[in-house]
Amino acid sequence: FEQGLRTLLRQDPDVIMIGEIRDQPTARIAVQAGLTGHLVISTLHCGRATGVFARLIQMGIEPYLVASSIRAALAQRLVRRLCPTCRAQRGEEAAAGSGNTAPRRWYEPVGCADCDGLGYHGRIGLFELIEMDEKLRHMILAQASETELQQYAAESGTRNLADDAADKVTAGWTSREEVMGAIE
């Protein structure tokens, strides 16, 4: 696999897609490709978007290389999508300006012929995206903890998995039970 990636880089592609970064040699090649101007899209197993940085450092990639080569990190969780034919609305919308961000309107699965009685049909993603900026770069160089990175992301307006989940529950895309099992 490592040799295949090296051969691919010699072809000077604009975009390189790596199924998963599982080991240090693959991580090193991906980071080097990113540093030389290639757009590298890959997956890493992490709990949150901010976990990407610590995971690469744990794999032996130097913090300055991590901070220099990553443009953004995206975390995703897949949850079952409520059947649009039979979903049932519960609760009501929070009063405007109440300061309460918890969804007060939600939907539950019912089950019908369209979804084979399951109440769900297909899946939908919950997403958390953090984009690299100077402060985040300095925090990575200083080897800030994942908790500190998450706190900075929240302070800088990054929407986390829970925010996206709350929006999708309120909009009726998925149920509260589904998101509870998907986010920490």
Could you tell me if residue 23 is inside a domain?
Answer: no
Q: Note down the domain range covering 129.
A: 44-182
- pLDDT tens for 21-64 read 999 999 998 999 889 888 999 999 998 999 999 999 999 999 99
Q: What is the CATH number of the domain that holds 105?
A: 3.40.50.300
Q: How confident is the model at residue 102 (pLDDT cuts 50, 70, 90)?
A: low
How confident is the model at residue 99, as a pLDDT? 55
Could you tell me if residue 56 is inside a domain?
Answer: yes
Residues 71 and 131: beta-carbon distance below 8 Å: yes
What crossing angle do the helices spanning 146-155 and 51-58 adopt, rounded to 10°?
Answer: 150
Number of independent structural domains in the chain: 1
Could you tell me if residue 52 is inside a domain?
Answer: yes
